[in-house]
Amino acid sequence: MEYSHKLIIDNISRFIDLTELEKQKYISLLTEIKVNKKTYLMQAGDITKYEYFITKGCLKVYTLDVDGTPHISMFAVEDYWTGDIASFITKQPSRYFIRATEDSELLGISRANYDLLFQEIPKFERFYRMLYQRSLISYIRRSNHGISLTAEERYIEFKKKYPNIVNRITQKDLAGYIGITPEFMSKIISKINRL
């Protein structure tokens, strides 16, 4: 089996067991996608065509506010799922941009194939139930941190939770994720280094 297919099957197998036939069927529903560094996987206004699984590289998911300031919703690296679930489900235009910060490779499942998947292999209901459950837990935590922690605390949390991502992204993008300006991010880091 191809490396990227092994990666996605391993990811799914953490939650459900698939027969060889089911694995093949599932893989047949996927689309391979490559995006070069600095190019867009999707842009605000698009109706999201796929949910993505990253097999190589790094991407950022973000919105632009009225001032044009980017606010980063998530970073996605190998073995992560990403996309804009709201636009994917409702088929309404997205408010998000997804841009590669490294040359990246992804597997996408289209909305039509996503719907088909549940008919063909109902076990995937369980997989997505568990995947969404986990995402939900981490977004609940993140939204609580947003209202209860200082910027410095959120930075420390991020480093603790995503040690493997910190070194792959710019300080500026991290500021956009934490919810502060790059200048203040710089101050926080220099303060921590001074101690």
Partner DNA sequence: TAAAAGTCTTAAACTAGTTCATTTTTTTTC
Partner DNA sequence: GAAAAAAAATGAACTAGTTTAAGACTTTTA
Residue 58, both tokens: 């790094």
Applying CB under 8 A, the span of 32-40, 50-58, 131-139, 165-173 interacting with a second copy comes to 131-139
SS3 29: coil
Q: Is 45 in the site for a second copy (CB under 8 A)?
A: no
Site string for DNA, 143-162 (x = CB under 7 A): -------xxx----------
109 in the Ramachandran plot: left (φ > 0), alpha (ψ -120 to 50) or beta? beta
> Which of a second copy, DNA, none lies near 140, with the C-beta cut-off 5 to 8 A by kind?
a second copy
Q: Which is nearer to a second copy, 37 or 141 (CB)?
A: 141
Binding residue for a second copy (CB under 8 A) from 28, 119, 147, 190? 147
144 φ, ψ (degrees, to nearest 5): -70, -40
Do 131 and 125 touch, CB atoms closer than 8 A? no
Site string for DNA, 21-40 (x = CB under 7 A): ----------------xx--
Written as one letter, the residue type at 88 is: F
Q: Is 61 in the site for DNA (CB under 7 A)?
A: no
Work out the angle at residue 84's Cα, subtended by the Cα atoms of residues 134 and 103, and round it to the nearest 5 degrees.
Answer: 95
Q: Which is nearer to a second copy, 108 or 176 (CB)?
A: 176
